[in-house]
């Protein structure tokens, strides 16, 4: 006999988000992805609130597109996970060709650019890794990364502009231009 467990709407939504970027569920990655979903994205730079709205729009995509039900009132702030997935989807849309969806690839590239590290329950360094990830995410949100964007989502090899003073949308566009000029 198969026992099924009823999950909450928010848990179902998290699983959907996780599946957008993880593929086959992996406990180590799920724990890490969940940690990104527990941290609020704070837009301190003008127009970065648009990235938060993009992230929150994923909720509508889930309700209308997956559950096919009306979107309930859900006023929780955008999480870092939602914002990063929404940005990855934007990059995928801009870069789209006839190949398969590359949203997950772009998401993991941003994770790598930030210098975040996945962790698992039985890892003896979990507290250290969580602490380091929190420091990295705080530095990113407070724009305490390098002038060229290193330590942020979109580091550049060459730039005349201080990326700490550029909204995320234009950082993303400069990054795409530099890494994939075609």
Q: In the predicted model, what is the mean pLDDT of residues 106-113?
A: 95
What confidence tens digit (pLDDT) does each residue in 66-104 have? 766 666 767 899 999 999 999 999 999 988 876 788 899
Report the predicted TM-score, pTM, of the whole model to 2 decimal places.
0.89
Dihedral angle at the C-alpha atoms of 133, 138, 143, 146, nearest 10 degrees?
Answer: -30
Instruction: Quote the tokens at residue 96.
Output: 């789209």
Q: Pick the residue with more confidence: 29 or 175? A: 175
- CA separation for the pair 9, 177 (Å, rounded): 38
What confidence tens digit (pLDDT) does each residue in 29-69 have? 888 899 999 999 999 888 999 999 999 999 988 887 776 66
**How many other CB atoms are found less than 10 A from the CB of residue 170?**
13
- CA separation for the pair 91, 29 (Å, rounded): 22
- 3-state secondary structure (DSSP) of residue 173: helix
CA distances from 119 to 31, 81, 98, 150 (A): 7, 16, 34, 22
Cβ atoms of 111 and 30 within 8 Å: the answer is no
Q: How sure is the predictor about 3, in pLDDT bands with cuts at 50, 70 and 90?
A: low
CA torsion sign, 135 to 138 to 139 to 144?
negative
Percentage of residues of the chain with pLDDT beyond 90: 59
Instruction: Examine the pLDDT at 124 and tell me if it is beyond 80.
Output: no
Q: In the predicted model, what is the mean pLDDT of residues 148-176?
A: 95
- CA separation for the pair 180, 129 (Å, rounded): 32
DSSP-assigned letters across all residues of 36-55: HHTSB----STTTHHHHHHH
User: So what's the pLDDT on residue 99?
Assistant: 75
Q: How sure is the predictor about 144, in pLDDT bands with cuts at 50, 70 and 90?
A: very high
Instruction: Quote the tokens at residue 19.
Output: 């599946």
User: So what's the pLDDT on residue 51?
Assistant: 96
User: So what's the pLDDT on residue 4?
Assistant: 63
List, in order, residues 6 or more apart from 177 with CB less than 8 Å away: none
Percentage of residues of the chain with pLDDT beyond 70: 88
């Amino acid at each position: 006999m198969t026992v099924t467990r009823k999950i909450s709407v928010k848990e179902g939504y998290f699983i959907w988000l996780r599946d957008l970027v993880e593929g086959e569920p992996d406990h180590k990655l799920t724990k890490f992805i969940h940690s990104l979903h527990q941290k609020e994205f704070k837009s301190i730079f003008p127009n970065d609130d648009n990235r938060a709205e993009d992230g929150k729009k994923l909720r509508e995509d889930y309700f209308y597109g997956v559950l096919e039900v009306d979107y309930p009132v859900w006023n929780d702030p955008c999480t870092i996970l939602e914002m990063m997935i929404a940005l990855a989807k934007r990059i995928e849309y801009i870069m789209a060709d006839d190949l398969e969806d590359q949203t997950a690839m772009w998401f993991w590239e941003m994770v790598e650019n930030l210098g975040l590290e996945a962790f698992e329950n039985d890892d003896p360094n979990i507290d250290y890794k969580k602490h380091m990830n929190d420091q990295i995410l705080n530095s990113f949100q407070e724009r305490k990364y390098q002038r060229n964007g290193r330590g942020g989502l979109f580091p550049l090899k060459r730039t005349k502009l201080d990326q700490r003073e550029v909204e995320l949308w234009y950082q993303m566009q400069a990054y795409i231009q530099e890494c994939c000029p075609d």
